[in-house]
Amino acid sequence: MSPLVIYALVFIGVSAVIGVLFFILGEGTAKTAERLDMLTGRRKRDDEANTILKKTALDRDKKSLFEALTPNIVSLQKLIVQADANITPSTFMVISLILGVLGFTASWLAGVKIYLAPLLGILLVMVPFAWLLHQRASRMKTFASQLPESLELVARALRAGHSLAAGLHVVAEEMPKPIADEFNRVYEEQNLGIPIDEALKSMCERVPNLDLRFFVTSVCIQRVTGGDLAEILDKIGYVIRERFKILGMVKALTAEGRLSGVILMALPFLLFLIMLHIKYDYVEKLWTHPLGVKMAATALVMQLFGALVIRKIVNIKV
């Protein structure tokens, strides 16, 4: 093994050890500071109003190294909470960086072209983010499909003489995840003293769903003006079910267009990889010749524009 490879491996190992130490020490310091704040009573009600429930990634106030270096850590925390991933933002970033370094090192040691090694590293860095976005989309889709039945349960509980909080508890007990977890959190928060309006608004922040916003808005208005909340919830549930029917029809009618868009978007890149393997000298002019660079840039811009046009055509809002 050449000295250059040995130096590179030593550098990567030392960097990984330092990163893990910073991560552990940062979280330990944050936990110690949190305990001291609780003992000295420096935590005021403003902090408690945000959440007085379980520890989640969104609720933790940690000041680790990675959170200090990342300006958008709050957005990452929200994404993790919405995906219901049992991981902290710092751990998530460490995993992403380790995957990127491993991808770059493995491709470089395998003899991959020097300009392709960073690309492979970047792709591996994006894998955890892609997984997180997929988990979030899947959870939000499941939540949306469970919402009409949950609203009907709340309406039945109200007609039976129970309170709104009891209706939320029925949903938490009877419905599966993820909607059971969210409604149970609202129920526990209002039990701990948070007004139910604020608890419902917090759920809207965690779950960006338009139908859920309708439900929360109707509850807030009804608590001020009065009215038959059970009837309102029945109508909201009916509207949501009808919207799902129309959305299913739209997806069936646009399925061919969406499949065509996927094929058209993937075909140029597949042909590029095939030609890169079969006839490398023919493809390398795209980045070695000035005209080839312009052609490649123009093709990428047109490809992106075409993807946006197809997305605009097939994504019909209902």
User: How much is the pLDDT for 74?
Assistant: 59
Buried b (16+ CB within 10 A) or exposed e, 264-301: eeeeeeeeeeeeeeeeeeebeebeeeeeeeeebeeeee
Q: What are phi and psi of 21, to 5 degrees?
A: -65, -45
Query: Domain boundaries in the chain?
Result: 3-138, 139-246, 254-314
* pLDDT at position 29 over 50: no
Predicted confidence at residue 8, as pLDDT, reads: 55
- pLDDT for 66 equals 46
Contact 68, 90 (CB under 8 A): no
Indicate the average pLDDT of the chain.
77
pLDDT confidence bin for 53, thresholds 50/70/90: very low
Whether the CB-CB separation of 155 and 238 falls below 8 Å is answered with no
Cα 107 to Cα 117: distance, rounded to the nearest angstrom: 5
Handedness of CA 132, 135, 138, 139 (dihedral sign): negative
What is the pTM assigned to this prediction?
A: 0.64
The residue assigned the tokens 């094929």 is 263
Q: Do the Cβ atoms of 199 and 190 come closer than 8 Å?
A: yes
Of 31-40, 108-117, 204-213, 295-304, the one with minimum mean pLDDT is 31-40
Are the C-beta atoms of 164 and 229 separated by less than 8 Å? yes
139-246: CATH topology: Receptor-associated Protein (1.20.81)
Sign of torsion over alpha carbons 28, 34, 38, 40: positive
Mean pLDDT of 178-184: 90
Of residues 70 and 285, more confidence is placed in 285
**pLDDT category of residue 50 using cuts at 50, 70 and 90:** very low
Q: Is 53 helix (H, G, I), strand (E, B) or coil?
A: coil
Contact 62, 74 (CB under 8 A): no
CA distances from 137 to 143, 176, 208, 216, 254 (A): 10, 17, 11, 21, 20
Give the list of residues 6+ apart from residue 314 with CB closer than 8 angstroms, or none: 254, 257, 258, 261
Q: Mean of the pLDDT values across residues 12-16?
A: 58
Measured in Å, how far apart are the chain's first and last C-alpha atoms? Answer: 61
Write down the pLDDT at residue 2: 54
pLDDT at 272 exceeding the cut of 60: yes
pLDDT at 42: 44
CA angle 179-201-230, nearest 5°?
Answer: 65
